Amino acid sequence: MLVWLALSVLNGSMVHTFLRHSFFYEDPRYIMFIYMVINDALQLSLVTALYVVSYIFRQIHASVCCLLIISAVLTTRSTPLILAGMAVERYISICFPLHYSHICTVPRTLFLIGMILVLTSLPPITDLLITIVKEPPQFFQSNIFCDHSLLFRGQAIYYKNCVFDGTYLSFVALTLLYTYCKIMLTARAASTSLTLVKKARNTVLLHGVQLLLCMLAFVVPSLQAALIYLFPLLSLEIRYIFFLLVYIIPRFLSPVVYGFRDEKFRKYWTRYLACQNGLTSSVRPTC
């Protein structure tokens, strides 16, 4: 809970900084960035709530669990697609700088965000529809331990999600690899700033690290289930360790990658944090 609170404060301060300065609204890069921050904050809050509920109540109403699980799955699956979108934005800014303002516009960025929401909402919605068809009506009125595999129990759901996750994670991985290679090939172009290219290259590399951490969320459930089967008395400890590795630690990357590395955003973000902490009185009127 303390880690969740610390990350919530960081994410909240970044969202507040974005909202206070209108010029961020006109930059697709920062729009995608703040969308990732909000998505991470929601995802972290939902999975933390699920984890705390599983400790305190053990079993909750299936309909409430269904709402929490669907929301958590939607935000978890959104992250890789957001990473792909941000990598493509960096690729366009480096490889097509003269066409950047025409290709990357605010309406197109908002349309991309809408498409991400639609694509990531399809798997959990189909999971729910299959469960409604196969399970008796009283199932959603019962109390269960809130876990995806216990709520959506059909084998068809499992295989469908394996195909979907494999397809779209491969798409994201290929997108990151392609953008990284193209940025590297552009690194020697005389018309492009070497410093800018290095920053874009490092950003895409960090996107790759984030993708690997995101992929753990899709691999860990099977490994976790196997370990719990082998060591049933340590089920809570096993869940706790995987929860920290998969859901908590990766959420620290977004503030580091975007909040601290981006000079423009860092300038206004640190000014806002300084004002909140009362470190200096001279900058307070400008915050």
| pLDDT value of position 281 | 43
Are β-strands 143-144 and 60-61 bridged in parallel, bridged antiparallel, or unpaired?
A: antiparallel
Report how many domains make up the chain. Answer: 1
CATH code assigned at 276 = 1.20.1070.10
Helix (H, G, I), strand (E, B) or coil at 144: strand
The dihedral built from the CA positions of residue 14, 16, 17 and 21, taken in this order, carries a sign that is: positive
State the pLDDT at residue 65: 87
The pLDDT value recorded for residue 115 is 93
Residue 49 burial (10 A CB sphere; 0-12, 13-18, 19+): middle
> What pLDDT does 277 receive?
65
Please, are residues 113 and 201 in contact by the beta-carbon 8 Å criterion? no
Residue-level pLDDT, tens digit, the chain, 287 residues = 787 888 888 888 888 888 888 888 888 888 998 998 899 888 888 888 887 887 787 788 888 888 888 888 888 888 888 888 888 888 888 788 888 888 889 999 999 999 999 988 988 899 888 888 888 888 888 888 887 878 888 788 888 888 888 888 888 888 888 887 887 777 666 455 566 667 776 777 777 777 777 777 667 766 777 788 888 888 778 877 877 777 777 776 666 666 677 778 888 888 877 776 664 444 444 44
Token reading at 64: 């409430």
pLDDT of residue 232: 81
Q: What is the pLDDT of residue 113?
A: 93
Domain that residue 74 falls in: 2-286
